[in-house]
């Protein structure tokens, strides 16, 4: 073997070790970066639709059937209102009243499985109206808001069946009885207003100053 050939082999081996070292460094850096916590999720833009409220039946059809309401802020966190009227993290204690563009919500305590608890729209009280174990039907009401806190604010209601999570379509826009009370189908001719299923007594939108979450 010529001396020049041996030198070339040594140089090649050194180059390969350098390349492997670079790739190993990049791999380690990528692994470290992947384990670092990312930034917290940003709230959706005000024009985008988001989940605003849920009313759900638990243990449907039994003597322990209960109903719980959950109100969500823009970040997706469920919230309650305390006795002083301040918005706080969701809890099971009683609280105060929170004014929103879709009515006033009262924080009701949960003591027993069969209670009507959580954030309940004042239009649905007394609680006996929205917890009837003898009635079958959808067990989940979802309320979405779009263009929130603007003049084009719109509300869309969904009813979901307990079996398979199937959304209930309108049937000639006739009312439907559920364990959560009677629901009606509403169709605003504009992007704003109410669209879809709503509890029969649910109030019309009433935007106003100082109402949550537009005041926050």
Q: pLDDT tens digits, residue range 14-70? A: 655 654 554 445 443 444 444 454 554 555 555 689 999 999 999 999 999 999 999
Contact 116, 105 (CB under 8 A): no
Residue that the structure tokens 């604010």 belong to: 153
The confidence score (pLDDT) of residue 25 equals 53
Q: How far apart are CA 195 and CA 172, in angstroms?
A: 14
- Per the structure block, which two tokens stand in for 47? 């024009």
Q: How far apart are CA 113 and CA 63, in angstroms?
A: 9
Q: How far apart are CA 209 and CA 18, in angstroms?
A: 66
- Per the structure block, which two tokens stand in for 12? 């090649």
Helix spans in the chain (H) = 3-35
The confidence score (pLDDT) of residue 70 equals 97
The confidence score (pLDDT) of residue 22 equals 47
Choose between 1 and 199: higher pLDDT: 199
Q: pLDDT tens digits, residue range 169-180? A: 887 778 999 999
The confidence score (pLDDT) of residue 216 equals 60
With CA atoms as reference, report the closest residue to 203 among 184, 175, 179, 180.
184
Query: What percent of the chain clears pLDDT 90, i.e. is strictly above it?
Result: 60
Residue-wise burial string across 20-37, b where 16 or more C-beta atoms lie within 10 A, e elsewhere: eeeeeeeeeeeeeeeeee
* Residue 116 DSSP SS3: strand
The confidence score (pLDDT) of residue 50 equals 97
Choose between 154 and 32: higher pLDDT: 154
pLDDT tier, 9 (very low <50, low <70, confident <90, very high otherwise): very low
- Residues 205, 155, 141, 97: is their CA dihedral positive or negative? negative
Burial (0-12, 13-18, 19+ Cβ within 10 Å), 44:
middle
| Model pTM score | 0.77
Strand partners, 197: 185
């Amino acid at each position: 073997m010529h001396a020049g050939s041996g030198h070339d082999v040594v140089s090649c081996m050194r180059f390969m070790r350098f390349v492997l070292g670079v790739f190993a460094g990049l791999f380690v850096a990528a692994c470290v970066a992947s384990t670092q916590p990312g930034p917290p999720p940003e709230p959706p833009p005000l024009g985008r639709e988001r989940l605003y409220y849920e009313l759900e039946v638990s243990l449907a059809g039994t003597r322990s059937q209960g109903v719980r309401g959950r109100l969500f802020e823009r970040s997706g966190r469920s919230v309650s209102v305390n006795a002083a009227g301040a918005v706080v993290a969701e809890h099971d204690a009683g609280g105060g009243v929170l004014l929103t563009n879709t009515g006033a919500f009262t924080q009701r305590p949960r003591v027993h499985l069969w209670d009507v608890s959580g954030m309940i729209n004042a239009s649905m009280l007394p609680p006996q109206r929205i917890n009837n174990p003898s009635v079958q039907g959808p067990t989940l009401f979802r309320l979405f808001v779009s263009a929130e806190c603007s003049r084009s604010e719109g509300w869309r209601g969904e009813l979901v069946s307990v079996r398979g999570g199937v959304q209930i379509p309108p049937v000639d826009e006739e009312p439907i009885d559920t364990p959560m009370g009677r629901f009606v189908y509403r169709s605003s001719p504009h992007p704003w207003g109410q669209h879809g299923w709503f509890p029969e007594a649910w109030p019309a939108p009433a935007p106003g100053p100082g109402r949550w979450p537009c005041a926050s």
